[in-house]
Amino acid sequence: MAFIDYYKILEVDKKATEADIKKAYRKMARKYHPDLNPNDKEAERKFKEINEANEVLSHAENRKKYDEYGENWQHAEQYEQAKQQGQYSRGGQQEGFGGFSGGGDFSDFFESMFGGRASGGENRGRSAQFKGQDFSTELHLNLKDVYTSHKRTLTINGKNIRITIPAGVENGQQIKISGLGGEGSGGGPKGDLYITFAIENHTNFKLDKHNLYSTVDLNLYTALLGGDITADTFDGKVKLTVKPGTQNGTKVKLKGKGFPIYKKEGEFGDLYLTYQIQIPTNLTEKEKELFTELAKLRKT
């Protein structure tokens, strides 16, 4: 197996921090994402490599194994166990990334140990089973996309898969889809797919947990005299009755008009609207005269 330099793929140094790796992955994933590069086989290949590199380097334990065992990092524990049991030994010190100063490499060991050619006792002719590699990817969505449950087709390692995105999924939340990772070896099960959601809010609503917050412009006359207005909610408009003498900054709670609660069908947070009274400008002479008259009346 040819050695794959995951650091090179993500264009980071081997001393890169976890934050450096995350930043590099997001930047490159956006650049080569299949949705932005339709029918581009090279971009598809690159995207696959980027996800594979991130899966290893973004997890401290996986990264540690990779730094020591190179392409054989997934079988590091089995190698250590076999080494302790005296099933494999070579002189010399480890050089990292699959090399021994005493000659040969880890690939020789894994081929003989786990490729069905193990020798000695009950292990003869048997092939060890290993779960396939877990894959991870980041899915970028808008807030409106996760207001309702919907299906979406994703391209993972060249394969199109259709998944259901539940309503109310949160930014940074991760879900696991079993069996959509890499192929297992020796008859082992497939790995899993981990999807992390990156949700951007391009609406006029602020989201806090399951509650939504927004402002509503209210003209001075309706604030003074009361009346009916139409206000925006996340999924449409509602009619509201404004009480006479409503003050600037008054808050109104609309129960159940917030954001859907994840995995709780039909349950929503609340919507909080804040009235923002608009003071009229560019008054005509007649309006100024009337307001002056009102001011005099209020003083009496």
pLDDT at 83 over 80: no
4-54: per-residue pLDDT in tens?
788 998 999 888 999 999 899 888 888 888 778 888 888 888 888 888 888
Q: Which of 35-39, 55-59, 124-128 has the lowest mean pLDDT?
A: 124-128
Cα distance between residue 118 and residue 93, in whole Å: 23
pLDDT at 100 over 50: no
Give 112-169 as a DSSP string.
Answer: HHHSS---SGGGTT----BPPPPEEEEEEEEGGGGSS-EEEEEEETTEEEEEEE-TTP
Please name each of the domains of the chain with its CATH number. Answer: 6-123 (1.10.287.110), 135-200 (2.60.260.20), 206-299 (2.60.260.20)
* Pairing label, strands 251-254, 271-278: antiparallel
Contacts of 300 (CB under 8 A, 6+ apart): none
Q: How many residues does the chain have?
A: 300
Cα distance between residue 17 and residue 83, in whole Å: 31
